[in-house]
């Protein structure tokens, strides 16, 4: 869902120098995305980080996808 709000991801200059994290934690989005890329499942992440909810992981992936899009300039 490209227009989905990302209310579970936040960036605060006082938390990890502004890196995007799961809201209310110091867990960076890149940690979750890297873990999925290395073959961990969502269930693995939920077990490793018991404070996470499935929606946190899903939004982290949506965030990474959104950040990787290249918008074409409209002339």
Alpha-carbon distance 21 to 71, whole Å? 24
Report yes or no on 34 lying in a domain.
Answer: yes
Residue 13 or residue 71, greater confidence: 13
The confidence score (pLDDT) of residue 70 equals: 78
Number of folded domains in the chain? Answer: 1
Tokens of 60: 């982290």
Residue 31 inside a domain? The answer is: yes
Per-residue pLDDT tens for 7-54?
999 999 999 999 999 999 999 999 999 999 999 999 999 999 999 999
Three-state secondary structure call for residue 20: coil
User: Is residue 20 situated within a structural domain?
Assistant: yes
* Boundaries of domain holding 32: 9-68
In a domain, residue 4? The reply is no
Q: What is the pLDDT of residue 1?
A: 47
What CATH number does the domain containing 16 carry?
A: 1.10.10.10
């Amino acid at each position: 869902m490209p227009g989905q709000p990302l209310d579970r991801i936040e960036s605060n200059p006082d938390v990890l120098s502004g890196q995007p994290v799961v809201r209310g934690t110091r867990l960076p989005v890149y940690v979750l995305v890297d873990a999925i890329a290395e073959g961990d499942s969502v269930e693995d992440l939920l077990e490793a980080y018991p404070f996470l909810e499935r929606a946190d992981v899903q939004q982290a992936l949506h965030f990474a996808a959104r950040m990787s899009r290249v918008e074409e300039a409209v002339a």
